[in-house]
Amino acid sequence: MPINRSCFGGDRASRIHPTLTFVRPLRDMVVSRLGRDCYDRLMRPRTKKWLLVVLVVVALVALAIPLFGFRRVMPLGPPTNSQFSYDTLGSALRHVRDGRVDYEALVNDPAPLEAFVSSIAEMGPRSTPRHFADENAELAYYINAYNAFALLGVVRNWPIESVHDVHGLIEPKAGFGFFYGQHFRLDGRYINLYDLEHEVLRAFGDARVHAAINCASASCPALAPTPYQPHNLERSLTVVARAFSSAPHVRISEVVELNPIYSWYAEDFLVHERHMRSLEGGALDPNAPQEPAEAEAEAGAVEEAEPTPVHRDVKILDFIARFASPTERAALRLARESETEVRYFEYDWSLNGIGAE
């Protein structure tokens, strides 16, 4: 049976004419923008192959964004003014009691938290350095930012029972959606919680920050009920380090059980302890007894005494003992000397909410 070409729009050229009516104007626009020579070079087979590769990569990235749960958490608070303070964060933290958070109350009263997040979105050490005169001011800023973003991450995804409940269609690892997928605006740029901790906070070289930041989980160090302030940051970090060096994060019995944070960031704690020993001449802590040779050398009785090596067999228990109570410090020293087994208990990722225990 002969084919009725009118059903297909006539001959072959005519059949593809609707496509050409779309492609040709697009081609003409590209030619007019790039010029004929540039367009012809782009249409060479080798160049077209690379263009196809680029397009495929772009398409894969675009596809990965929703699959992995990547998204920008936009500030919803009022526009910032020229003044910077932690007052709004302080108002949001009034929902914190004994280190745990009343998330129901925070969800119903998000305005102070949203206002603070809006203020740090465009203000910070990079964009407004006049507000951050020294390192303490910068460190306090980033600690407060981390804690505020963790709270906001829960509020924006409420109701959830764990930070692991925030995820995309594909979850490369537990917690990916919460710590990697959410990008918060900070100091004019976007950053996720993982990078804020690992690339920014850890770069300050103070292991006590691990006791100050809170990841909205039950096994995290307790969330402070007030913002960290530059003028008393040193004291505040020592206070939280002491709390993190005691129960429930440190349990001493026949074995020593520690919070897994001490394992995950072991190098940070060891570097911190080595640095403190170097400042103190190698002693375990300011009150630690010295060996006779060391005491004589310090008094000048031995001119050529070998100095105490500051890197000598430093262990995690040394850092903990530095901040532990006198009773726990004695128990830790005994455990260290007797080489008591050190274990790390299972981390509890359930929310650090009031009544969640």
Amino acid, res. 351: L
CA–CA gap between residue 64 and residue 68 (Å, rounded): 6
Q: Which neighbouring-strand residues pair with 132? A: none
Encoding tokens for residue 265?
């960031």
Angle value at C-alpha 343, between 338 and 349, nearest 5 degrees: 155
Confidence at residue 71, expressed as pLDDT on a 0 to 100 scale: 87
Closest CA to 236 of 266, 209, 268, 217: 209
Confidence at residue 83, expressed as pLDDT on a 0 to 100 scale: 85
Contact 155, 106 (CB under 8 A): yes
Confidence at residue 299, expressed as pLDDT on a 0 to 100 scale: 35
Confidence at residue 314, expressed as pLDDT on a 0 to 100 scale: 85
Mean pLDDT by 10 residues, the chain (357 residues): 42 41 56 65 62 60 54 82 90 97 98 96 96 97 98 98 90 92 96 98 98 98 98 98 97 96 98 95 48 36 35 81 96 93 97 82
Confidence at residue 306, expressed as pLDDT on a 0 to 100 scale: 34
CA–CA gap between residue 338 and residue 156 (Å, rounded): 49
Cα–Cα distances in angstroms (integers) from residue 326 to residues 93, 316, 320, 333, in the given order: 31, 17, 12, 11
Confidence at residue 56, expressed as pLDDT on a 0 to 100 scale: 61
CA–CA gap between residue 93 and residue 228 (Å, rounded): 11
CA–CA gap between residue 199 and residue 206 (Å, rounded): 13
Confidence at residue 170, expressed as pLDDT on a 0 to 100 scale: 79
Q: Which neighbouring-strand residues pair with 184? A: 73, 191
Encoding tokens for residue 262?
């001490």
What secondary structure, in 3-state letters, does the chain show?
CCCCHHHHCCCHHHHCHHHHHHHHHHHHHHHHHHCHHHHHHHCCHHHHHHHHHHHHHHHHHHHHHHHCCCEEECCCCCCCCCCCCCHHHHHHHHHEECCEECHHHHHHCCHHHHHHHHHHHHCCCCCCHHHCCCHHHHHHHHHHHHHHHHHHHHHHCCCCCEHHHCCCCCCCCCCHHHHHHEEEEECCEEECHHHHHHHHHHHHCCCCHHHHCCCCECCCCCCCCCCCCHHHHHHHHHHHHHHHCCCCCEEECCCEEECCHHHHCHHHHHHHHHHHHHHHCCCCCCCCCCCHHHHHHHHCCCCCCCCCCCCCCCCHHHHHHHHCCHHHHHHHHHHHHCCCCEEECCCCCEECECCCC
Contact 180, 64 (CB under 8 A): no
